[in-house]
Amino acid sequence: MQINFGIPWGISEAAFNLKDLNSNYQYKAFGVPWLGLKRGLADEMVVSSYGTILAITDYPKEVLSNLRRLEKEGMYGKYGFYESIDYTPSRLPKGKNRAVVETYMAHHQALILLSIDNLINNNILQERFMKNPEIQAIDILLQERMPKDMLITKDKKEKTRKIKYTGFDNYVEVAYTKIDENLRKANVIANEDYMICVNDKGEGYSKYKDILINKYKETKDISQRNIFLYKKY
């Protein structure tokens, strides 16, 4: 919390603003660049709601202040705080500086409830944890002292910087005014099971897995072996 990136804090692994073919948000680990072992952490910036509330036992005032800021950013929905906000410029629409990941993950909502419970009941989770016989058997490890003689090495830390949103003014658009009728154009739409292919004349075929629903065959009567799209005037 000592570094100001100009955005709310609360970095942890979370869903971010990228979906698969089934419209499911993707999920991975995010973190502070000089603390995480993973490279490239400085290139992405995702703030999660549960990542904020996990600190409520130690910094209750700061957490409440940050939650109010998240709410102003549009992160509060019908069932509470959404999963996260993605501030990574490469995953944002033109003209936007953030994208709210409007989903709820059950285990992250559970962490939120447990953190609030831990605050109200004076670290009750730590007490329950230490009452576990398996933990009691090795609690001596928690009393290990820091070594006096340590080997300190200088490593190159990733530099952190505020997010810069690149404009779209440098994009180049190429317009074609003359169409080459000899070049056949086609469009393919598919998922894991079904595929449909249609050319610029409305001719095409479809296939489900390895089964041809509408057969395609290179013959003289090809116009009779395809599917067709017509526009009614």
Rounded Cα distance between 228 and 7, Å, is 52
pLDDT of residue 115: 94
Pairing of strands 14-19, 227-228: unpaired
The answer to whether position 192 is within a domain reads yes
The answer to whether position 169 is within a domain reads no
The answer to whether position 44 is within a domain reads yes
Q: Is 199 found in the same domain as 137? A: no
Rounded Cα distance between 12 and 91, Å, is 18
152: its two tokens: 């300190």
Specify the number of domains making up the chain: 2
Nearest to 84 by CA among 3, 166, 187, 7: 7
Please provide residue 124's backbone torsions phi and psi, each rounded to the nearest 5 degrees. Answer: -65, -30
Q: Is 19 found in the same domain as 114? A: yes
* DSSP summary character for residue 224: G
Say which residue the tokens 């003289």 belong to: 220
Point out which residues pair with 227 in neighbouring strands.
204
Point out which residues pair with 15 in neighbouring strands.
27
For the chain, state the CA radius of gyration: 27
Q: Is 61 found in the same domain as 138? A: yes
* Boundary of a domain, candidates 124, 143, 162: 143
* Boundary of a domain, candidates 112, 143, 174: 143
Please provide residue 27's backbone torsions phi and psi, each rounded to the nearest 5 degrees. Answer: -140, 135
Owning domain of residue 28: 14-143
The answer to whether position 150 is within a domain reads no
114 Cβ partners below 8 Å, 6+ apart?
A: 125
pLDDT of residue 1: 41
Q: Is 215 found in the same domain as 102? A: no
The per-residue pLDDT string of the chain (233 residues; one tens digit each, 9 = 90 and over) reads: 445 678 899 988 999 999 988 889 999 888 777 666 667 677 788 999 999 999 999 999 999 999 999 999 999 998 899 999 999 888 888 888 899 999 999 999 999 999 999 999 999 999 999 999 999 998 888 887 777 777 666 566 666 666 666 655 566 677 778 777 777 778 899 998 999 888 877 778 888 988 888 766 665 555 555 666 666 66
The answer to whether position 177 is within a domain reads no
pLDDT of residue 36: 64
Q: Is 128 found in the same domain as 26? A: yes
* Boundary of a domain, candidates 143, 174, 196: 143
59: its two tokens: 């910094």
